[in-house]
Amino acid sequence: MCENPANSREHVPPKNLFPESRDMRGENYRVNLITVPSCELHNLSKSKDDEFLMVSLAGIIGNNSIGYRHKLGKVDRAIRRTSYRLLDAVLTKKREIHRIEMAENKFIDVIWGTPDAKRLMKCFDHIARGVHVNHFNSRFDGRVHVHLGFLTYNKGNPQAWNDFVRRKTEIELDGKPSYGANPDVFFYQVTDVDEFGLFLFRFCFYGGLNIYTAMWPTTSSPPNNFAIDLMNRGIKTIVSLGDKKYEFN
């Protein structure tokens, strides 16, 4: 993250995303967690963000049972401890609360709303730089573009873009290895470096919650993209990818 001397180590992704064994009937989901060198300041300053990230991710519908149990254990304890302040920080706007029946007489409350996407992106920018150190053994120098694949959008271009990025990444990562010793909680994949020097990480949490980060090293020279120009100008644009078409504007 910076040029300061590294005199501590921090977990990437944060340790609190990995359930404690007491919430998992003794099973260990904290095997060989990734740590990277960090300066003291960066290590300390991000503990609030780590907590925010934990509450943001663990309770999302569609996670596997490990994410769900983590939510019912450590995450809910943290939320109660802060009198729900933590939960309030996760959503900038709360729209609706739905009560869903999971089984007979078993209900859960689901909050539907607008997440603090800006803060989430900052967290994943941090994680991408950490994973880069772990994977390539070098500090990443450049820009990170975070795409939160697990969000759904009300309508229009963002949702089409979301589907497009997901499909394109699936194609580029096809057959690539996964890294991470607790894959049910977290694993990552990385694409090849393309002709412009760009590459992409996929981070997958709790079996299906995807975040993609496009890595633009300062030495790369990304092309001007004609299609994206058209989209940004509000002109109707159709992009084909495999057998699918994605329509913008």
Alpha-carbon distance values, 164 to 52, 62, 73, 157, 245 (Å): 28, 20, 35, 10, 9
Among 24, 35, 37, 42, binds Zn ion (CB under 5 A): 42
Sheet with 186-190: strands ordered across: 142-148, 209-217, 199-205, 186-190, 179-182
Binding of residue 1 to Zn ion (CB under 5 A): yes
Secondary structure class of 37 (helix, strand, coil): strand
Min dist. Cβ of residue 44 to Zn ion (A): 10
Smaller CB distance to Zn ion: residue 41 or 181?
41
Residue with tokens 């934990």: 54
Smaller CB distance to Zn ion: residue 32 or 138?
138
Smaller CB distance to Zn ion: residue 30 or 42?
42
Min dist. Cβ of residue 128 to Zn ion (A): 15
Min dist. Cβ of residue 173 to Zn ion (A): 30
Which one, of 239, 220, 219, lies nearest residue 228 by Cα? 239
Min dist. Cβ of residue 130 to Zn ion (A): 11
Region of 1-9, 163-171, 194-202, 210-218 interacting with Zn ion (CB under 5 A): 1-9
Give the list of residues 6+ apart from residue 62 with CB closer than 8 angstroms, or none.
Answer: 150, 208, 209
Binding of residue 12 to Zn ion (CB under 5 A): no
Smaller CB distance to Zn ion: residue 71 or 129?
129
Binding of residue 139 to Zn ion (CB under 5 A): no
Min dist. Cβ of residue 2 to Zn ion (A): 3
Backbone φ/ψ region at 205: left (φ over 0), alpha (ψ -120 to 50), beta:
beta
Smaller CB distance to Zn ion: residue 1 or 209?
1
Min dist. Cβ of residue 42 to Zn ion (A): 3
Distance, in Å, from the CA atom of 138 to the CA atom of 133, rounded to the nearest integer, reads 5
Binding of residue 39 to Zn ion (CB under 5 A): yes
Distance, in Å, from the CA atom of 112 to the CA atom of 94, rounded to the nearest integer, reads 6
Residue ranges in contact with Zn ion by CB under 5 A: 1-2, 4, 39, 42
